[in-house]
Amino acid sequence: MTLLIIFICIIFLILLITWGKVNAFIAFLVVSLAAGLALGIPLNEVSLSVQKGIGDTLGSLVIIICLGAMLGKLVAEIGAAEKITSVLANVFGKKYINWALMVTGFVVGIPLFYNVGFVLLVPLIFSVVYQYKLPAVYIGLPMLAALSVTHGFLPPHPSPAALIQQFDANMGITLLYGLVIAIPTIVVAGPLFATTLKNIQARPLETFKPKDVENSKLPGAANSFLTSLFPVLLLVLTTILSFTVSADSPAYKYILFFGDPVIVMLISLIGATYTLGIFTGKSMKTVMKIYADSVADIAVILLIISGAGALKQVFADSGVSSQIGHMLMDLNIPPLLLGWLIAAVIRVCLGSATIAGLTTAGIIAPLMVQSNVNPNLMVLSIGAGSLLFSHVNDSGFWLFKEYFNLSIKDTIRSWSLMETIVGVMGLIGVMILNAVIS
């Protein structure tokens, strides 16, 4: 009976979001309260479970996400992303320009949230398309594949950062593993797959044709690269140092302090405020306006994350999570594959990578306690599954279709298959890495 209630609640959640068009946060609250009551949580405690789940899930996570959004917005608004593209285009040449855009998407996608990155970087794609008279999908898909992979695989993006917190994984190690898996995944799903799409006739709308920007107004190349990559560099450095310095050493506590994701993002943002803001002639008021706008861009993501945390807490407080854990332990499916599969199914049903990842975390959490599965790899496995087969219920699908002015058939043939390749390649990478380190 308990499992039937859970199944009904999940179906109810899917129907509210997809068929009823209810806001995901509201849908999570309604389903969480209904699930708590149906699973026997006392009436006066259901609301407390929901509140605890929201608070525990967000916690320091809200700081990381907001600071990451501010940094990403600044990188795009000031022109650092365009400068990076210009430099890479000169290095790679016209023949390999799509590889240059892939690298651009990867570099700026690390601090940039996906939807913001899509809207702000697509004009760069079209500037190359208009300049070199090349097929838009062939040129653009590698960059968007890189953005998608960083969104699903790498912290400080919302879903992987939240999963790291829930599984008590290490953000630095997860980032290192994620980079190892992300690079071949992006290559296959990006430029290699894009070679099969040269005959797709995309007609980018004139509305999206970018305006010419004077190179003199763009930040320097070194400034653009270092500022965009600084959070990654600092996380990687402190992670490596934590393995090389003894825990008894006086320096160890400083390594832990500066390796804390909140401190990393804060230091990076403070530095970027000067390097991309004040140093390039922008006033403090202008920079702060960019930061304020960025928070508005990710407010809904924060709400979705908190709503998923509420449902997870209700499952935990009702005791049903333990039952699911014991049931899953009896299945003859490797835990990493199971996490990927659950996330993939929810992704296809709901259309949101973030919801798929966070909902799967609540279901798979008991299994993490009862098995020896590597939590860092579980974060990546769920992240890969949460990207599988984006279709008509995903906002990213429609962003791509409308910006590139494609038919639904061609959008599925390009965008949806690209996301599927990302999901499958991610799983393969996780399994290979698990075999190597276990």
**Cis peptide bond N-terminal to 156, omega within 30:** yes
Q: Which of 121, 209, 134, 193 is nearest to 400 (CA)?
A: 121
Q: Which token pair is 142?
A: 């590698």
What 3-state DSSP class applies to 330? coil
Are the beta carbons of 181 and 244 closer than 8 angstroms? no
- If phi over 0 gives left and psi between -120 and 50 gives alpha, with beta otherwise, what is residue 154? beta
Are the beta carbons of 326 and 373 closer than 8 angstroms? no
Are the beta carbons of 72 and 301 closer than 8 angstroms? no
62-84 exposure pattern, b = at least 16 Cβ within 10 A, e = fewer: ebbbbbbbbbbbbbbbbbbbbbb
DSSP 56-99: HHHTTHHHHHHHHHHHHHHHHHTTHHHHHHHHHHHHHTGGGHHH
301-339 exposure pattern, b = at least 16 Cβ within 10 A, e = fewer: bbbbbbbbbbbbbbbbbbebbeebbeebeeeeeebbebb
| pLDDT tens per residue across all 438 residues of the chain | 777 887 788 788 878 887 888 888 898 899 999 989 998 899 889 999 999 988 887 876 788 878 888 887 888 788 887 787 678 778 888 788 888 889 888 887 877 667 667 766 776 787 778 767 789 999 999 999 999 998 888 887 778 888 998 888 998 899 999 999 999 999 999 999 999 999 998 877 555 454 455 667 788 889 988 888 888 788 778 878 887 888 888 888 898 898 888 888 899 999 999 999 999 888 999 999 989 988 886 787 788 878 888 887 887 788 765 565 556 556 678 889 999 988 888 888 767 787 788 888 888 887 777 778 999 999 999 999 999 998 876 778 877 887 788 888 899 899 999 999 999 999 999 999 999 987
What pLDDT, on the 0 to 100 scale, is given for residue 210?
45
φ, ψ of residue 240 to 5 degrees: the values are -65, -45
- If phi over 0 gives left and psi between -120 and 50 gives alpha, with beta otherwise, what is residue 374? beta
Are the beta carbons of 50 and 314 closer than 8 angstroms? yes
Contacts with 286 (C-beta within 8 Å, 6 or more apart), sequence order: 277
Alpha-carbon span 126 to 408, nearest angstrom? 20
What pLDDT, on the 0 to 100 scale, is given for residue 211?
47
What pLDDT, on the 0 to 100 scale, is given for residue 228?
82
Alpha-carbon span 163 to 151, nearest angstrom? 13
Q: Which token pair is 213?
A: 């920007």
DSSP state of 192: I
* Domain segments of the chain as ranges: 2-437
Are the beta carbons of 11 and 274 closer than 8 angstroms? no
User: DSSP alpha helices (H): ranges in 319-386?
Assistant: 320-329, 335-350, 353-370, 375-385
Tokens 């992006």 map to which residue? 186
In terms of pTM, does the model score above 0.95? no
Q: Which token pair is 133?
A: 């008279």
Alpha-carbon span 418 to 185, nearest angstrom? 10
User: DSSP alpha helices (H): ranges in 133-260?
Assistant: 136-153, 158-167, 171-187, 193-194, 221-244, 250-259
Are the beta carbons of 122 and 129 closer than 8 angstroms? no
DSSP state of 278: G
What pLDDT, on the 0 to 100 scale, is given for residue 328?
54
What pLDDT, on the 0 to 100 scale, is given for residue 436?
94
Alpha-carbon span 303 to 410, nearest angstrom? 33
